[in-house]
């Protein structure tokens, strides 16, 4: 027993010793900044007092210059946006980008040496003139100028609505792991050092400013309160001051209006804001002189904000803001100020103050009391659904309704705890921020909206059943990543699904395992022990373990693993029918889904039947789809179907799919000698094996696969015997042919948003012949939208063994050609055709995009088709029209096809070496249906069309394709 006591005492001693060794740096900011709302820029001056509490001697400090993330298209920010499928910033004009410059870091008026980061332009190393010893402090100053970008991410401007975030030179964190310099990213938040801020913001008088910390001007507070439910054009008192007509050259010290700090508001006891001595205004950088005539006077005001124990400062300015003000009394009796800022027409915000109060009280009760004297919530004109948090203030973008706003306010205000007060390294451990926060979101919704808990699909709250479904899908596809993954290493889908949803689920299970009273007690202790510090995952685990007798090591190991969380149902599944599809109780039920099906072609006419399938989310290893159809004209059962089994190995391959598919339809209609309808048709069975290779990085947009298929095709064709009664020839379906085709395909595709491409190499072999195809597609994005699709094609054909007349005849349909491919030439029956065998009428004008792709039908001129039993090559260009070219935006494009073939290079060739077709293309239904109107073409085509005037009409020259083979299901699903 004594031995156990001694071990326990030793562990407690080691734990307390380890905690006592914790240290963090200390910063004091004094910043003066002015807004130029004509140039959308900031001019400022920073004075930073840096105290080295580390045991190390520092010779330099890394500074973040995050506005430079918007400087050009060679930043980590831009690279990440492209990876996420966004090209708006990449193609942004110079006027929409941003930067920070005019830096001059000094200590005691001595200029400091700067060195660019070797990889990122938004990080700079500033060398100190003398080593900064442990316990010592230094004061660094610099002017700075910021060109605010158009809002692409968290900060910037939309017109004269300003979101000023990540805007000033900011030191990187130095902790027991060293320096943490990091580039600005859209997906991936921040890690910053705590300090005290004294910020003076100068803006034109008609702007309402919402900022981090406590506003020091009671006059400004009164003015903002007066804007509640009033016209936003209300005049600011300062705007009545008489000003000269033109701005004089800037003096060395700007004549700004100084505000006087007021006495603290009563009842604001134990507030976190320290009482800092007044600091004289720093000397700002002198602005360049401009002509007086070009600079009309703009009355301005200067507002001062102070706040301690925070690690960031953000502010927002808009002329349209109205402000709601109230106070919130916390359980301790302390009273804090609350503000909400929004545009007058934002009706959904009318109860935003009560939502803010509920959020503050909920978190204060469950975790620990809100320590600051003010909280603000701002409705900004920028951003997608959701918002972004900063100390004491959050901005929120458009939301659909009041209930959604309530949840988003609760989530973003809640970040004051998990991000603001418990300032873990969000870039490396996003789960400690977003995941913990989402866990409390769930508890908020469960308490406030219990009846709707299974219906809300929100950024800050996804219901457990739908969240679990999403996680199960990612797990099944082996696309999930560990909870402990860093922000930048997450895929876009996993950042939301894992960092938010799965972490919240993990927290819930941890709560259930510990028991809610013990869990809540542990979280409150974690808050008390680590507030205003930088807790790491091990620190969190240690506190939680101290508040339970149960061993939590297995639970925390789950953070580093993929796969489903414990508790997943593994028993036998029931089989149930479902209309369309169902995902309810997906872990306990296998659904056989059904829905009505309709089909049509010119020979079978209308077909009716069912779609039977077990496709769902998450996917099954064994999947099937069957579409039996009864044809009203041919009076036979047709249809298509497929079944496949998928393995998902853990290592080299992403998945291996073994499949079997089949189809049956009619291909021609006739009337026999008895007046009875007869039909040609086909049936096919296609076994296949596809291996999809695994990428080294989950972030890769590349997909590579190799596939083997064998087509077993049975074709019923007409014979035309003479009828002895009338000596006429009638079709009789008496000829049945069987053939096969072996096909090996290697494909590589990059589904990136900028310049996507794909390429295929295909080898085919049939009875007496071989064929090799190479096809590539490359898309050139245009800066203002749209782009040009380039297709390259080449094919080589040859005979196996000696070339004979029989082989030539038998393999004719397999030979590549330049001009449009018709339905009868679809030798694998892989495309859908209205009238596969038609030579007249609308159905005959359908083509398919294969081989050379010259979009001109030359049915009457076989010699002009560019067919070859040797080789064929072509290039196809397709471009969208310039924006604003037409008064109404239409899905019209221009195409140009150029090709050549082996026979064109022989002496006395029938055609020129190169044939071309150009014209207009109408693309509908995500390029699934395309209509082509050839306008310009080679002289050979033009001369031969003149000999057949009935074919040389505009309507007859039109063709269309239904491009199922280019249908990008992955792209559609991702959107």
Backbone angles phi, psi at 51, to 5 degrees: -110, 125
pLDDT reported for residue 966: 58
The reported pLDDT for the residue numbered 581 is 82
* 751: confidence class by pLDDT, cuts 50, 70, 90: very high
Q: What's CA 803's distance to the chain center, in Å?
A: 55
Look at residue 756 and tell me whether its pLDDT is greater than 90: yes
Pair of tokens at residue 905: 């290079």
Per residue in 452-469, pLDDT tens? 544 433 333 344 567 788
Q: Give the pLDDT confidence score for residue 385 in this predicted structure.
A: 59
**pLDDT tens-digit map of 858-909:** 776 777 899 999 999 999 999 999 887 777 888 999 999 999 999 999 998 8
Residues ≥6 apart with Cβ < 8 Å to 39: 147
The span from the CA of 928 to the CA of 926, in Å, is: 5
Average pLDDT over residues 932-942: 93
pLDDT band (50, 70, 90) for residue 268: very low
H or E element: which one contains 534? none
As beta bridge partners, residue 689 has 658, 708
Gap between the Cα atoms of 903 and 696, Å rounded: 45
674-698, pLDDT tens digit by residue?
Answer: 899 999 999 999 999 999 999 989 9
3 state DSSP class of 816: coil
Asked if 675 and 725 touch (Cβ cutoff 8 Å), the reply is no
Q: Is the peptide bond before 705 cis (omega within 30 degrees of 0)?
A: no
Whole-angstrom distance, CA of residue 763 vs CA of residue 765: 7
Q: How many CB atoms lie within 10 A of CB 778?
A: 15
The residues near 457 (Cβ < 8 Å, ≥ 6 apart) are: 463, 466
Q: Please give the helix or strand (H or E) that residue 601 lies within, else none.
A: strand 589-601
Residue 968 confidence (pLDDT): 53
Q: DSSP secondary-structure letter at 57?
A: -
The string of pLDDT tens digits covering residues 358-409 is 999 999 999 999 999 999 999 997 655 578 999 999 999 988 899 999 999 9
CA 356 to chain centre: 29
CB 196 within 8 A of CB 285: no
CA distances from residue 258 to 240, 471, 813 in whole angstroms, order as listed: 17, 55, 87
Tokens found for residue 467: 């969240």
How far is Cα 182 from Cα 117, in angstroms, rounded to an integer? Answer: 10
Question: Any idea which residue has 């196996």 for tokens?
Answer: 800
Q: What is the pLDDT of residue 723?
A: 82
Secondary structure element (H or E) that encloses residue 142, with its range: strand 137-147
pLDDT of residue 857: 85
Answer whether 89's CB lies under 8 Å from 151's CB.
Answer: no
Looking at residue 884, what is its pLDDT? Answer: 76
Contact yes or no for 939/915 (Cβ under 8 A): no
The predicted model gives 125-134 an average pLDDT of: 98
Name beta bridge partners: 797. Answer: 771
Integer Cα distance of 209 and 34 in angstroms: 12
Q: Do residues 242 and 228 touch, judged by C-beta distance below 8 A? A: no
C-alpha radius of gyration, the chain, whole number: 35
Six-digit token pair at 328? Answer: 């919130």
Structure tokens at 102: 């005019």
Residue 931, classified by CB atoms within 10 Å of its CB into exposed (0-12), middle (13-18) or buried (19+), is middle
As beta bridge partners, residue 488 has: none
Strands 702-719, 732-750: pairing is antiparallel
Torsion sign across C-alpha atoms 137, 143, 149, 155: positive
Cβ pair 713, 682 in contact under 8 A: yes
Query: Which pair of structure tokens corresponds to residue 289?
Result: 């002189």
How many residues does this entry show for the chain? Answer: 975
Yes or no: say if 815 and 868 are a contact pair by the CB < 8 Å rule. Answer: yes
Q: For residues 947 and 833, what is the distance between their CA atoms, to the nearest angstrom?
A: 29
User: Would you state the pLDDT for residue 9?
Assistant: 41
pLDDT tier at 958 (50, 70, 90 boundaries)?
A: very high
Q: How many CA atoms lie within 13 A of 65 on its CB side?
A: 30
pLDDT at residue 292, as a whole number: 39
User: Residue 283 has what pLDDT?
Assistant: 38
Reference 763, options 743, 748, 747; nearest CA is: 743
Tokens 């001697």 correspond to 57
């Amino acid at each position: 027993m004594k031995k156990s006591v001694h071990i326990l005492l030793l562990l407690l001693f080691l734990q307390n010793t380890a905690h006592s060794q914790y240290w963090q740096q200390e910063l004091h900011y004094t910043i003066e900044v002015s807004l130029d709302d004509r140039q959308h820029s900031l001019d400022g001056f920073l004075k930073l007092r840096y105290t080295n509490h580390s045991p190390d001697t520092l010779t330099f400090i890394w500074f973040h210059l995050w506005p430079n993330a918007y400087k050009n298209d060679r930043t980590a920010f831009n690279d990440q946006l492209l990876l996420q499928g966004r090209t708006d910033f990449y193609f942004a004009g110079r006027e929409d980008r941003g930067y920070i410059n005019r830096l001059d870091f000094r200590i005691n008026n001595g200029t400091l040496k700067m060195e660019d980061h070797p990889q990122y332009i938004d990080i700079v190393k500033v060398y100190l003139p003398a080593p900064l010893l442990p316990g010592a402090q230094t004061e660094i100053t610099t002017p700075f100028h910021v060109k605010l970008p158009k809002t692409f991410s968290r900060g910037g401007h939309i017109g004269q609505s300003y979101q000023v975030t990540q805007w000033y030179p900011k030191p990187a964190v130095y902790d027991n792991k060293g320096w943490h310099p990091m580039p600005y990213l859209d997906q991936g938040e921040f890690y910053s050092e705590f300090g005290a801020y004294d910020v003076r913001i100068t803006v034109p008088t008609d702007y309402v400013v919402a900022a981090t910390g406590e506003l020091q001007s009671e006059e400004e507070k009164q003015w903002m309160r007066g804007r509640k439910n009033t016209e936003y054009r209300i005049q600011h008192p300062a705007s009545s001051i008489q000003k000269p007509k033109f701005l004089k050259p800037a003096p060395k010290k700007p004549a700004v209006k100084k505000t006087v700090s007021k006495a603290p508001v009563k009842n604001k006891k134990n507030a976190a804001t320290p009482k800092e001595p007044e600091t004289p205004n720093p000397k700002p950088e002198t602005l360049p002189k401009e002509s007086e005539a070009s600079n009309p006077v703009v009355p301005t005001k200067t507002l001062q904000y102070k706040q301690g124990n925070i690690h960031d400062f953000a502010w927002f300015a808009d002329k349209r803001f109205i402000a709601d003000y109230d106070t919130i009394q916390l359980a301790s009796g302390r009273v804090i100020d609350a503000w909400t800022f929004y545009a007058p027409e934002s009706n959904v915000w009318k109860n935003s103050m009560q939502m803010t109060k509920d959020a503050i009280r909920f978190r204060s009760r469950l975790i620990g009391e809100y320590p600051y004297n003010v909280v603000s919530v701002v409705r900004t004109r920028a951003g997608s659904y959701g918002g972004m948090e900063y100390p004491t203030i959050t901005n929120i973008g458009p939301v659909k309704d009041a209930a959604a706003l309530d949840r988003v306010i609760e989530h973003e205000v809640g970040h004051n705890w998990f991000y603001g007060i418990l300032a873990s390294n969000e870039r490396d451990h996003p789960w400690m921020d977003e995941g913990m926060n989402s866990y409390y979101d769930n508890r908020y919704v469960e308490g406030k909206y219990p009846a709707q808990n299974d219906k809300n699909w929100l950024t800050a709250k996804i219901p457990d059943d739908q969240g679990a479904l999403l996680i199960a899908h990612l797990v099944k596809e082996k696309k999930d990543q560990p909870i402990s993954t860093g922000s930048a290493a997450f895929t876009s889908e996993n950042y939301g699904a894992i960092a938010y949803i799965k972490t919240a689920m993990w927290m819930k299970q941890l709560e259930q395992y510990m028991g809610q009273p013990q869990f809540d007690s542990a979280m409150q202790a974690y808050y008390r022990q680590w507030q205003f510090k930088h807790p790491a995952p091990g620190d969190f685990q240690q506190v939680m373990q101290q508040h339970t007798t149960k061993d939590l090591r297995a639970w925390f190991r789950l953070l580093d693993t993929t796969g489903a969380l414990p508790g997943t149902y593994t028993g036998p599944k029931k089989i149930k029918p479902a209309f369309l599809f169902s995902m309810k109780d997906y872990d306990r039920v296998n659904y056989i889904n059904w829905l009505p099906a309709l089909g049509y072609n010119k020979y079978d006419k209308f077909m009716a039947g069912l779609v039977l399938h077990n496709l769902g989310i998450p996917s099954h290893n064994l999947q099937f789809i069957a579409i039996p159809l009864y044809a009203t004209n041919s009076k036979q059962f047709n249809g298509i179907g497929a079944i496949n089994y998928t393995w998902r190995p853990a290592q080299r391959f992403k998945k291996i799919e073994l499949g079997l598919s089949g189809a049956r339809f009619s291909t021609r209609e006739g009337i026999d000698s008895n007046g009875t309808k007869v039909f040609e048709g086909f049936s096919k069975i296609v076994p296949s094996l596809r291996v999809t290779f695994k990428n080294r990085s989950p972030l890769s947009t590349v997909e590579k696969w190799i596939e083997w298929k064998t087509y077993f095709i049975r074709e019923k064709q007409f014979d035309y015997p003479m009828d002895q009664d009338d000596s006429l020839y009638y079709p009789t379906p008496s000829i049945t042919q069987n053939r096969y085709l072996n096909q090996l395909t290697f494909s590589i595709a990059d589904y990136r948003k900028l310049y996507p491409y794909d390429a295929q190499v295909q080898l085919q072999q049939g009875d007496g012949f071989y064929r090799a195809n190479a096809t590539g597609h490359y898309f050139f994005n245009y800066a203002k939208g749209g782009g040009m699709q380039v297709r390259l094609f080449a094919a080589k054909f040859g005979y196996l063994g000696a070339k004979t007349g029989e082989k030539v005849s038998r393999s004719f349909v397999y030979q590549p050609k330049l001009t449009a491919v018709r339905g009868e030439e679809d030798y694998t029956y892989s495309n859908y055709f209205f009238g596969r065998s038609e030579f007249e009428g609308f159905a005959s004008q359908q083509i398919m995009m294969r081989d050379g792709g010259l979009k001109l039908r030359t049915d009457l001129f076989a010699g002009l088709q560019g067919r070859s039993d040797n080789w064929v090559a072509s290039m196809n260009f397709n471009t969208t029209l310039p924006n604003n070219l037409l008064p109404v935006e239409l899905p019209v494009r221009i195409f140009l096809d150029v090709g050549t073939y082996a026979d064109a290079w022989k002496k006395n060739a029938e055609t020129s070496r190169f044939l071309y077709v150009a014209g207009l293309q109408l693309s509908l239904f995500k390029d699934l249906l395309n209509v082509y109107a050839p306008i310009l073409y080679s002289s050979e085509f033009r001369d031969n069309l003149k000999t057949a005037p009935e074919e040389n009409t505009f309507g007859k020259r039109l063709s269309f394709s239904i491009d199922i083979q280019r249908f990008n299901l992955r792209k559609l699903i991702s959107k």
